[in-house]
Amino acid sequence: MLTRTGRIGVMAAMPEELQALLDLMPDETAQHRAGRAFWIGHLHGREVVAVLSRIGKVAAATTTTVLIEHFGVRQIVFTGVAGGLGDGVRVGDVVVADALVQHDMDASPLFPRFELPGTGLSMLRPSADQTAAVRATVEQALAPSALVAGDTLADVHLDELGLALPRVHQGLIVSGDQFVHSAQACAALKQALPSALAVEMEGAAVAQVCHDFGVPYTVIRTISDRADDQAHVDFPRFIQSVARRYSLAMVDALLRAQ
Ligand code: SAH
């Protein structure tokens, strides 16, 4: 599913996630470009370039462009956290994107709302085959048996955070340059894009750059909040004890998979 022969770019949204990945790589060295540290090394026999995406669409687009144009990656995997929008998308669940929209793109009346001017597209879709394979691998990586016995996940204590076992969803992820944190903003997004499962700040920008360069990509998000006025969990604790570990287990499984 991921390329055996070319470099794979792994973009993490948070330093904790990047560090967990770097700890697994035996041989990484940093190269600096555009004020970012790109970590080049290997994992499970594959050549990996790992980097912090930085927050927001422009930052993520720049990071993606450098990965592709300067470091020559053939594929990109993005992991991070997101706000849950869809019914049944709970804190602690995971969403694999099969479509991405920039929810704050609006050049109407010149172009339809959400359309990326010049492309005729508002929704970008990673390859369906790859999405299905990624979803299956992620489901396996986060299966209850892995949560009990897996190296990375054995000490995830979901009950302490009041979380259920993770469900893996597949669907639309929407991105924009806003941290969505009110019931009102949430309702407006759901009205405009009813099928959206999660909201974050980078995925659809990564998708646009990958689309332009013809590079396959995958966006995976662990739900950290419900994008509303309630703080469901202690965010730093959630990142440390759940999101960071899920992210590592998922990326590790994707890189191992044939
Ligand atoms: N407290 C964190 C804030 C990160 S949350 C910190 O100190 O860094 C913002 C990141 O999480 C963004 O990269 C975004 O992609 C994602 N995210 C999580 N929940 C979100 C929400 N409700 N709305 C938008 N982005 C969200």
Q: Is 55 in the pocket of ligand 1 (CB under 6 A)?
A: yes
Domain membership flag for residue 84: yes
Domain membership flag for residue 1: no
Annotated active-site residue 17? The verdict is: yes
Distance from C-alpha of 246 to C-alpha of 9, rounded to nearest angstrom: 18
Annotated active-site residue 225? The verdict is: yes
Q: What SS3 state is found at 43?
A: strand
Distance from C-alpha of 66 to C-alpha of 209, rounded to nearest angstrom: 10
Each residue of 212-238: b (16+ CB within 10 Å) or e?
eeebbbbbbbbbbbbbbeeebbeeeeb
- Which residue's CA is the nearest one to ligand 1's atom 8? 14
Domain membership flag for residue 199: yes
Range of the domain at 83: 7-256
Domain membership flag for residue 40: yes
Candidates 166, 10, 187; CA nearest to 88 is: 166
pLDDT digits (tens, 9 = 90+) for 141-185: 999 888 766 666 777 778 888 888 999 999 999 999 999 999 999
Q: What is the rounded end-to-end Cα distance, in angstroms, of the chain?
A: 6
| Average confidence (pLDDT) per 10 residues, the chain, 258 residues | 89 92 93 98 95 97 98 97 95 97 98 97 97 96 80 76 92 97 94 98 98 98 89 77 92 92
d(CA 181, ligand 1 centre) in Å: 10
Candidates 71, 78, 5; CA nearest to 37 is: 71
Q: Is 185 in the pocket of ligand 1 (CB under 6 A)?
A: no
Count of domains in the chain? 1
Domain membership flag for residue 160: yes
Domain membership flag for residue 2: no
How does the average pLDDT of the chain come out, rounded? 93
CATH number at residue 30: 3.40.50.1580
d(CA 200, ligand 1 centre) in Å: 6
Domain membership flag for residue 166: yes
Q: What SS3 state is found at 88?
A: coil
Domain membership flag for residue 172: yes
Cα–chain center distance at 169: 13
pTM listed for this prediction:
0.95
